[in-house]
Amino acid sequence: MNVRETVKEKGEESFFKNIQTSYTGDITLSNQTIEQLKELEKPVKMKFNFRMKMDEDMVYFNPMMWEGYKENYFKAAERSYPVEMPYVFDETYIFNMDIPADYEVEEVPRSAKVNLNDTDGFFEYLVENAGTAVRLRSRIKLNRANFRPEEYNDLREFFSYVVKKHAEPIVLKKKK
């Protein structure tokens, strides 16, 4: 998702409304801010608090539901032409979640780090379970914007792994 383009086109209020409606559960957003939208050399900082209604014994929550890669854009089994992206990128997503007092963390995604062809880029997915809070950081960095056809399969597998990790939930269990 390109936050700058979306906010410019639809406005901040609509942007956050879309985040709220993208989740199927009953959630409420508050304290929404977006910083550094016009400072193109700096990363966009988006912050908000969310509260979700939780009355189930087990809650499955995807921390990447708003910012994660949902599909791999490199779907073809092979490619005859180079992949040419408009630019290299470095995306970092940080997620902090306080665990409600009547729940405990049952399971979190495992941390992982994967390189793309040694120096072409990397994916880092770090998860920390502190008992009363879960912290997560996802970072995808591509050092090149162009890939030869013979490198396509590595690029496709790299993004398949990213999509898979971004789909993993945090599982909370109601305390007895």
CA distances from 23 to 14, 66, 171 (A): 15, 8, 16
Q: What domain range is 68 assigned to?
A: 56-176
98 shares its domain with 131: yes
Q: Of 53, 73, 88, which residue constitutes the final position of a domain?
A: 53
Residues 21 and 83 in one domain: no
- Could you tell me if 47 and 66 are in contact, meaning their C-beta atoms sit under 8 angstroms apart? no
Residues 74 and 156 in one domain: yes
Same domain flag for 119 and 132: yes
76 & 18 share domain? no
Residues 133 and 75 in one domain: yes
Distances in Å between the alpha carbon of 98 and those of 10, 26, 133? 30, 17, 4
Are 21 and 97 in a shared domain? Answer: no
Angle at 148 between CA 146 and CA 153, to 5 degrees: 105
Tell me: do 112 and 162 sit in the same domain: yes
The tens-digit pLDDT sequence of the chain (176 residues) is 578 888 889 998 888 888 887 766 678 888 988 888 888 888 888 888 877 777 788 888 888 877 788 899 999 999 999 999 998 989 898 888 889 889 999 999 999 999 999 999 999 999 999 989 999 999 999 999 999 999 999 999 999 999 999 999 999 999 98
Q: Name the pTM for this structure.
A: 0.82
pLDDT at 74: 94
Do 102 and 38 share a domain, yes or no? no
Number of domains in the chain: 2
- 152 and 110 belong to one structural domain: yes
Cα distance between residue 54 and residue 112, in whole Å: 29
CATH number at residue 88: 2.60.120.1130
33 and 101 housed in the same domain = no
pLDDT of residue 48: 83
32, 118: one domain: no
